Amino acid sequence: MTAASFPDGIPVSFSELALHPALLAGTALVGFTQCTPIQAATLPLALAGHDVAGQAQTGTGK
């Protein structure tokens, strides 16, 4: 999966990822439901056990 798999402007919700229910509850509790682009591009790879290095502008939700 590459960043190209998640074009800018297309939201990816945390619930679409294989996150532990406690993480889903925590993100929802604080109002985070959609991944930022860097999260959408890197979380699926990390969750699949791959090493990930990402680069994103400061303040973008890394």
**Matching residue, tokens 């590459």:** 2
Q: What is the pTM of this model?
A: 0.73
Which two structure tokens, joined as six digits, stand for 60?
Answer: 């973008």
pLDDT: is 20 or 5 the higher one? 20
Helix (H, G, I), strand (E, B) or coil at 34: strand
Q: Look at residue 3 and tell me whether its pLDDT is greater than 50.
A: no
Report the alpha-carbon distance of residue 12 to residue 18 in Å, rounded.
12
Is the pLDDT score of 1 beyond 50?
no
Q: Which residues contact 24 (CB under 8 A, 6 or more apart)?
A: 14, 15
List the structure tokens of 52.
């990930």
Spatial separation of the C-alpha atoms in residues 53 and 9, rounded to whole Å:
22
